[in-house]
Amino acid sequence: MACNNASVVRHTPPTGRNRQVHRKRPTDAEHSSTLPALPLTSNTFPAPLRAIYDVAAPAKLNLFLHITGRRPDGYHLLQSVFMLIDWCDTLHFELRTDGRITREDLSPVHDGPPAGREALPAEDLTVRAARALQKACGTSLGVHIGLHKRIPSQAGMGGGSSDAASCLLALQRLWGVALAPDALRELALSLGADIPFFLSGGHAWVEGIGEKITPVALPSARFVVVKPPAGVSTQDIFGAPDLKRDTETATIQGFAANAYGTESLLATFGRNDLQPVASRMCPQIAQSLDWLSAHQLQGRMTGSGSAVFAQLRHEADFSGAPDGWQIRKCSSLGEHPLAGW
């Protein structure tokens, strides 16, 4: 799915959509009579909107992931480069004037592996993000969210975090409110360590527990991403006693020398320190890496999930994959689809 631009509805909602959020929309008279007035300050958009459709939430790849230490509170310190790719979820937002926050799963069953896909939890990150923003801004408005999931869960691709970030950005426009950038990032970090990255607008060098974000320009690239059916617990990986937690600190300059070399080999710098432990816990990760190796590709795990990836230097035939595996060719994005929001 290409990460397309969102469409904004200011007055009359569009008709004839293939996938709409299935809730009765208020008439213009109902809207004008029940819509609470919001103070127009420098921290608000001009006015609430009726709806915003087709909001993209892209996945990310960790080109490398090093664990450099551990804080006294148990959080791990990391270094990584996050790269946005064109594997996207899609969200739709419709204004509610009763203050309620509801969410609808729009994902067809056949979009997942042949065995099907688990239903979204009632309190997923999009709902939590909406409630947190509603409270932080003190608005009495609500929203009905339609979520079409395409990014697989437990993949290490940041699908839930990306959904939450796109939700925060879209709801500020829908409700006509805005937090200061620092406050929005703090709110995002309270919801999940990866969410601030998806607010940053592009690829990034990420440090700390995920809160230290430095934008980086990266050459465009193509990848193949492989997601086996089995997942792996992030908590179990980070709790493993044999996890390497003392990798030497890397530098942006060192990564850039590799990324911008004559071959532009983005996924050969460093390693993913979580991969040995995760492969032991989830043998399908090792099987996926072996499958990529059989195609003369150097693969590695992304994030703390079971998806693996490899940079594509040429076209390849990936037919004949084991049943239940998701195989997808992806391209890097030039910037986040909501950059500037």
The per-residue pLDDT for 1 is: 54
Where is the domain boundary, 213, 235, 270? Answer: 213
pLDDT at 43: 52
Q: Give this prediction's pTM.
A: 0.87
Closest CA to 107 of 54, 146, 149, 155: 149
Residue 303 lies inside a defined structural domain of this protein: yes
- Residues designated as active site: 60, 194
Question: Are 259 and 290 contained in the same domain?
Answer: yes
Residues 234 and 193 in one domain: no
pLDDT at 134: 98
Distance CA 138, CA 41 (A): 14
Closest alpha carbon to 39 in 138, 134, 187: 138
In this structure, are 111 and 136 located in the same domain? yes
Residue 13 pLDDT: 41
Is-contact 159 194, C-beta < 8 A? no
Residue 138 lies in domain: 30-213
Do 205 and 316 lie in a common domain?
Answer: no
In a domain, 109, yes or no: yes
The pLDDT score that the predictor gives to residue 121 is: 84
Residues 254 and 271 in one domain: yes
Q: How many domains does the chain have?
A: 2
pLDDT averaged over 10-residue windows placed end to end, the chain, 341 residues: 69 38 38 35 69 98 97 94 98 98 84 55 94 97 97 95 98 96 96 96 95 94 96 94 95 86 73 97 97 95 97 89 94 96 94
Domain final position from 165, 194, 213: 213
CA distance 61 to 85: 7
Q: Indicate whether 324 belongs to any domain.
A: yes
Please report the pLDDT score of residue 98 as a whole number: 97
Q: Are 78 and 304 in contact (CB under 8 A)?
A: no
**How far apart are alpha carbons 228 and 252 in whole angstroms?**
32
Retrieve residue 290's tokens. Answer: 């072996």
Q: Give the SS3 label for residue 107.
A: coil
Domain-terminating residue out of 213, 240, 275: 213
Considering the domain architecture, whether residues 138 and 195 belong to the same structural domain is answered as: yes
Alpha-helical runs (H) found in the chain: 28-34, 125-137, 159-175, 181-191, 195-198, 234-239, 252-259, 275-281, 283-294
Radius of gyration of the chain (CA): 21
Question: Do 194 and 74 sit in the same domain of this protein?
Answer: yes
> Per-residue DSSP letters for 241-270?
TT----PPPP-HHHHHHHHTSTT--GGGSS
CATH code at 119?
A: 3.30.230.10
Do 304 and 175 have their domain in common? no
